[in-house]
Amino acid sequence: MKKIKRQRPKLGAILAIPLPNNTYAFGRLFKEYTLAIYKERKNIMYEIPKESDYDFFVTVYRSVICDGEWPVVGNIPFENEDDAWKPPNYMKDIFTGKFSIYEHGIISPSKEDDCKGLEICAVWEREHVIDRLMGKNVWTQIL
């Protein structure tokens, strides 16, 4: 069994995500262990998509980024620190039913209408990201 080298990617790092169909998806590292997943898929690990055309943003556990199973294959630095934040997400309290928006590390009370079109705030396991990339997404909730 091949030993995987641990890594400590910096913001803007491009990670290659091996898929079951022998292609690669790519994710650019944003703050808070969030990956911006590129729409384009490639057959070669080091063929990084040229366009910053993202399909979706997904926050993953630190181990998913750092364990080396998704190797760093490049880096595209951010122009400024604000650009390294993912788009806003929404939260819904399971007890009160109240909504909040999570943006730039801050939770703000909100109304359901303000959350329309936003994805629910969550942290994803590796296999769930792969499922979503392969079209088997049962995890996303968008209002």
Q: Count Cβ atoms below 10 Å from residue 109 Cβ, excluding itself.
A: 9
**119-123 mean pLDDT:** 90
Check: CB of residue 121 under 8 Å from CB of residue 91: yes
Q: Amino acid identity, residue 7?
A: Q
pLDDT given at position 2 = 56
pLDDT given at position 103 = 95
What is the biggest distance separating any 2 CA atoms in the chain, rounded to whole angstroms?
51
pLDDT over 80 at 3, yes or no: no
User: Which of 43, 11, 50, 41 has the alpha carbon at shortest distance from 28?
Assistant: 11
Alpha carbon separation from 18 to 13, 72, 79, 133 (Å, rounded): 16, 12, 28, 10
pLDDT given at position 1 = 45
Residue spans of the domains in the chain: they are: 13-81+123-133
pLDDT given at position 94 = 92
Percent of the chain with pLDDT over 70: 93
pLDDT given at position 29 = 97
pLDDT, tens digit (0-9, with 9 covering 90-100), for 24-52 = 999 999 999 999 999 999 999 999 988 78
pLDDT, tens digit (0-9, with 9 covering 90-100), for 81-96 = 999 999 999 999 999 9
